[in-house]
């Protein structure tokens, strides 16, 4: 029975790990192409005004960070999971502060909890 539970935990961990490698890398790469969405629309206008560069440049920087985060999850899942969880929570917070895209904020909070769960599973399955 313990072996079966271990197998289930490992499978769950691997599913979450795959998700948090692929999704940040795809979303990060899309910050350069805007094929999935126009990412600048999610920027809080008051925050955009404080940037020393354009919103598009900011989103490209975000894209690089997301790609790196996905690669960290691939190599060091526990550390990467905590990074992705914090990153998603911060994104959700900025959306909540802006008062727009509340559905996306909720989705990002759920993904943050999932990334945190993956990081915790990494400790016992890897």
Task: Give the tokens for residue 99.
Answer: 């008062």
Contact criterion met (CB below 8 Å) for 26 and 18: no
Question: What domain range includes position 21?
Answer: 2-125
pLDDT along the chain (126 residues), means of 10: 82 96 98 95 85 93 97 97 97 92 96 97 85
CA distance linking residue 123 with residue 126, whole number of Å: 6
pLDDT of residue 89: 97
Q: List strand residue ranges (DSSP E) for 55-97, in order.
A: none
pLDDT of 2: 65
- Please state the pTM of the whole predicted model: 0.90
In this prediction, residue 32 carries a pLDDT of: 97
* Number of domains the chain is built from: 1
Residue 32, helix vs strand vs coil: helix
Which residues does 122 contact at the CB level (< 8 Å), separation at least 6?
Answer: 13, 17, 77, 78, 81
pLDDT at 126: 61
Under 8 Å between Cβ of 54 and 65 = no
């Amino acid at each position: 029975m313990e072996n079966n539970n271990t197998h289930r935990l490992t499978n769950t961990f691997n599913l979450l790990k795959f998700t948090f490698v692929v999704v940040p890398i795809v979303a990060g790469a899309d910050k350069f192409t805007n094929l999935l969405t126009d990412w600048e629309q999610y920027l809080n206008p008051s925050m955009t005004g404080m940037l020393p560069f354009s919103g598009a440049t900011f989103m490209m920087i975000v894209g690089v960070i997301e790609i790196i985060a996905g690669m960290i999850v691939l190599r060091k899942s526990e550390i990467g999971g905590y990074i992705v969880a914090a990153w998603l929570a911060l994104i959700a917070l900025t959306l909540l502060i802006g008062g727009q895209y509340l559905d996306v904020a909720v989705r990002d909070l759920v993904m943050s909890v999932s990334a945190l769960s993956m990081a915790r599973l990494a400790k016992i399955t890897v």
